[in-house]
Structure 1
Amino acid sequence: MITRIEIDGFKSFVGFAMDVRPCTVLMGVNGAGKSNLLDALDFVRRTVTMGLQGALSGANPRLAARDLFHHADGHGDACTASELTIKIGMLVPSTYGPLPLVVRLGVGRDGTPPDPVRVAWRGGRVWVSSLVHTEWMDRLGLPGQLRAAVAAARKAFLDRNGTDWAQLRGSDAAPGGPRSEGARELLGVLASETATWERIALDPAAMRRPFGGSDELTLLADGSNLSAVLQRLGSGELRDMEADLAALIPEASAIRPVFDHRRGEYDFDVRFRHTGWTSPPMLSDGTMRVLALLAAWYDDRRAGLLAVEEIENGLHPTRIAELVRRLRRDVDDFPDLADRARQVSGFRQLIATTHSPVLLSALYDDPTGSLVFLEQASRVDPARAGISTVTRARPVREPRADEEPGETVTAEQVKRLLEAMGQVIA
């Protein structure tokens, strides 16, 4: 479970920092940096699992080398950041309990667009937090039981392994001696945690086609193996999913996974009260998206982060808030983590981006900071004589005594904004 994101020099982020809660909804207009934030998570995920060159292989076109580094308005090399760093704090389930990990990676730049840009590995590491600084626990409001469990997990890991960090390599072929058992374990835990950081960007057309691949895979980013995931769900999970589907799409009453043995393909049908069983080609985009998000949420093999971009896409405005409420209901909130750490492979967390005023209206009075505005701001860099547009995060909650004015958005401010937009407050 991600608890903190700090980014400098990557895309629209300069000196960016944001606390992350079990359910975090990122609100912002197009271009505010919502997709860039998910790109940062994907960049770390790919670098951890495939090395730097693997992360830049082209599988995600948004991670092209020329687009990674923050660029200011102006001319020449001086207006582009020469380095980027991404640092992410997290709580990870383990045999020791909820383990507090931090991963940090750095990348340097040679060349400036439109000229070819080359990247150089500046180093990276993962470590067990020393817990010397615990302000993040205070900001997130971690309960005492969880704090004690986090400290005990750290101690147990160190007692067993004698080390609390491991170096990340820029590529699989990077030189270096054999790692210690503790370092290998840390890297394995990190790889398992980051495996779910890929955003869900669903393609209804791909989901409508039968799937002929493995039923062992978790939901793919485009949702194309939805039918195989449905086939794998247990009867209990499928019943619960059907109940959620009926609440979101009242006419839907049941889901029937289908396997075509002759063709070796997975498929499914959805039953509607007045029209009976209906195959995917006849389902709306909104229905397909709801099915995929619920399937990913109920699939234990995908336990961890569910990152959804523009969660409102294809959904009727009246269903958006209810979908988020139902996904939010099953996140592993902080009081749950101490007891669940040894039972699960990943803590359930939801990060969703949106620019829907309907969803804003439904969540604006949540005082925890789960709703975060991502906004554009102008930044002047005297050293480079340039002005750039950067992303800043403003959580919706009451400001703390040590915060500057404008660092947060109050519920009353959001209410006035919604009223000015003509939005009915629920």
Structure 2
Amino acid sequence: MIQQIRIDNFKSLVDFEIRLAPFTCLVGLNGSGKSTVLQALDFISQQMRGELGEWLVLRQWDKRDIGSRLTAKKNIDLFVQVELPGCDLIEWSASFNRQSLRCTSEEVFHDGIRLLKVEDAECWLTYGGDAGLRTRKIDVIFEYQGSILSQLKSNQICEILQVLKEEIASIRSLDLLSPEYLRQRTRESAGYLGLGGQKLSAYLHELGSEERERLLDQLQKVYPRLTDIDTRSLRSGWKQLDIAERFAGKILKTPARHVNDGMLRLLAVLSQLSSDEHFLLFDEIENGINPELVEFLVDALVASDHQVLVTTHSPVILNYLEDDIAKKGVIYLYKKSDGATQAIRLFEIPSLAEKLRFMGPGEAFIDTQLTELDKEIQTLQLLWVSQEGKDASVAER
């Protein structure tokens, strides 16, 4: 699981840090930076895929768009902490140059041992074995984008570095998910829906029959008339998606272009819960979903084996979370006076923690004036700084 992310100089994220849970839900006012956090996680994922140029084109961005206007810094600094089974931690840090689209410096630490160092076009790799640790230097004479790990093969790096690479690369964002994209025909998916879900028809066509049956079983819990998720290949390789339903004893097939928005969104989200991606990102998860189906969707995401991060504007989403899930996973985003986005666990704020004793998570959030909440956070942070100063003074003595 990815436990912690730090990023500095990405849009409104300046010296930004967030601790992640198996299920994380971002809340906050419009413009607080919720979508930016999803974009930042997607940006971090691209470091291990080495496709930054294509990624910028896909999002219709320029190199200048990803840097922050709140600072004069040129590079974007990144830090990711990954927890392995057994509670081992791997930490990757890097400095990304926006002009070259490359991490010009990188380090990876595991159990206090530096496994990777990149600096000034030179790379050092550390390996372990029966003979002990050994370090090998590689001259970086090849072109690449993102992290150098995006170009190094599995036989060139140790197993820990390979796991790190795969974990970060398995972050998948669907923050642009929309019915318009979901209705599109596509030829192939390469195992990925696309940021907006535009490869849905091909993705479902490429699923194994067992996975498609499991997906159908899930959807039938909320769409009992549903009998089949049908895909077929048309001329030139285009894939057609049809939804089959039973009405008055007859089976009616509806092409994706005429299927309701909610069913298409549920189909896309649930299809990802059987994917090989480990960390899934969804923006405004309640969009287009009937209120009576939202609880079903939230339950499916929370119970998933995947790590999941969603954003929402609906307090109702929070009410479908158990208190312990809400305490760990609901993150409140806000902006400081200089415009930088900050994050805090919502129910670590004393007034919200007190309300949670008597109310549901969503009810506690509705019952809070967000303008007053920002003031409380500022006071809380001053107390933390004061306590850190006292602790440091005691330690010196």
| TM-score interval for Structure 1 and Structure 2 normalised by the shorter chain | 0.7 to 0.9
More divergent stretch after superposition (204-213 vs 405-414):
405-414
User: In structure 2, how many angstroms separate the alpha carbons of the residues matched to 1:165 and 1:129?
Assistant: 17
Q: 1:254 aligns with which of 206, 224, 227?
A: 227
User: In structure 1, how many angstroms separate the alpha carbons of the residues matched to 2:141 and 2:60?
Assistant: 20
8 Å contact from structure 2 (residues 171, 279) kept in 1: yes
User: In structure 1, how many angstroms separate the alpha carbons of the residues matched to 2:240 and 2:289?
Assistant: 23
Q: 1:283 aligns with which of 237, 244, 259?
A: 259
Structure 1 residue 354 displacement after superposition: 1.4
Structure 1 residue 192 corresponds to structure 2 residue 192: no
Equivalent residue for 1:243? 217
Q: 1:411 aligns with which of 344, 356, 368?
A: 356
8 Å contact from structure 1 (residues 4, 20) kept in 2: yes
User: In structure 2, how many angstroms separate the alpha carbons of the residues matched to 1:295 and 1:221?
Assistant: 14
8 Å contact from structure 2 (residues 346, 352) kept in 1: no
Structure 2 counterpart of 1:105, one-letter code = A
Structure 2 counterpart of 1:20, one-letter code = L
Equivalent residue for 2:18? 18
* Secondary structure in structure 1 of the residue aligned to 2:198: coil
User: In structure 2, how many angstroms separate the alpha carbons of the residues matched to 1:40 and 1:168?
Assistant: 30
Structure 1 counterpart of 2:229, one-letter code = R
Structure 1 residue 211 displacement after superposition: 2.5
* Secondary structure in structure 1 of the residue aligned to 2:129: helix
How far does the alpha carbon of each residue in 1:371-418 deviate from its partner, in whole angstroms, 9 at most, with x for none? 11112222xxxxxxxxx112111214457xxxxx68989735853432
Q: How does 1:27-66 map to 2 (within 5 A)?
A: 27-50=27-50, 54=53, 57-62=56-61, 64-66=62-64
* Secondary structure in structure 1 of the residue aligned to 2:157: helix
Structure 1 residue 90 corresponds to structure 2 residue 82: yes
- What percent of counterpart residues are identical? 26
Structure 1 counterpart of 2:366, one-letter code = L
User: Residues 312 and 171 (structure 1 numbering): CA distance in 2 closer, same or farther, change over 3 Å?
Assistant: farther
User: Residues 170 and 226 (structure 1 numbering): CA distance in 2 closer, same or farther, change over 3 Å?
Assistant: farther
Structure 2 counterpart of 1:377, one-letter code = K
Q: How does 1:1-400 map to 2 (within 5 A)?
A: 1-50=1-50, 54=53, 57-62=56-61, 64-72=62-70, 80-91=72-83, 100-107=89-96, 123-130=104-111, 158-159=128-129, 162=133, 172=143, 183=157, 188-200=162-174, 201-213=176-188, 216-247=190-221, 249-260=222-233, 262-274=235-247, 276-299=252-275, 302-331=276-305, 348-363=306-321, 365-367=323-325, 368-378=327-337, 388-398=338-348
User: In structure 2, how many angstroms separate the alpha carbons of the residues matched to 1:246 and 1:366?
Assistant: 29
Equivalent residue for 1:112? none
* Secondary structure in structure 2 of the residue aligned to 1:375: strand
How far does the alpha carbon of each residue in 1:96-148 deviate from its partner, in whole angstroms, 9 at most, with x for none? x8863322221467xxxxxxxx578663325242269xxxxxxxxxxxxxxxx
Question: Which sections of structure 1, spanning at least 5 residues, go unmatched?
Answer: 73-78, 110-117, 133-156, 332-347, 379-387, 400-404, 422-426
User: In structure 2, how many angstroms separate the alpha carbons of the residues matched to 1:169 and 1:361?
Assistant: 52
Structure 1 residue 57 displacement after superposition: 4.7
User: Residues 232 and 179 (structure 1 numbering): CA distance in 2 closer, same or farther, change over 3 Å?
Assistant: closer
User: In structure 1, how many angstroms separate the alpha carbons of the residues matched to 2:139 and 2:211?
Assistant: 37
Structure 2 counterpart of 1:320, one-letter code = V
User: Residues 364 and 26 (structure 1 numbering): CA distance in 2 closer, same or farther, change over 3 Å?
Assistant: farther
Structure 1 residue 195 displacement after superposition: 2.9
TM-score by length of 1: 0.68
Cα RMSD of the aligned pairs, angstroms, is: 3.9
User: In structure 2, how many angstroms separate the alpha carbons of the residues matched to 1:183 and 1:195?
Assistant: 16
8 Å contact from structure 2 (residues 172, 277) kept in 1: no
Structure 2 counterpart of 1:268, one-letter code = L
8 Å contact from structure 1 (residues 260, 266) kept in 2: yes
Structure 2 counterpart of 1:234, one-letter code = G
Structure 1 residue 3 displacement after superposition: 1.0
Structure 1 counterpart of 2:283, one-letter code = E
8 Å contact from structure 1 (residues 126, 165) kept in 2: no
8 Å contact from structure 1 (residues 211, 224) kept in 2: yes
Count of matched residue positions in the alignment of Structure 1 and Structure 2: 343
Structure 2 counterpart of 1:104, one-letter code = S
Runs of 4+ aligned structure 1 residues displaced above 4 Å come to 118-122, 163-171, 178-182, 184-188, 405-410
* Secondary structure in structure 1 of the residue aligned to 2:228: strand
Question: Which sections of structure 2, spanning at least 5 residues, go unmatched?
Answer: 114-126, 370-397
8 Å contact from structure 1 (residues 50, 172) kept in 2: no
More divergent stretch after superposition (260-269 vs 200-209):
260-269
Equivalent residue for 1:139? none
Higher relative contact order (CA 8 A, sep 6+): 1
Structure 1 residue 186 displacement after superposition: 5.5
8 Å contact from structure 1 (residues 71, 81) kept in 2: no
User: Residues 407 and 272 (structure 1 numbering): CA distance in 2 closer, same or farther, change over 3 Å?
Assistant: same
Structure 2 counterpart of 1:85, one-letter code = D
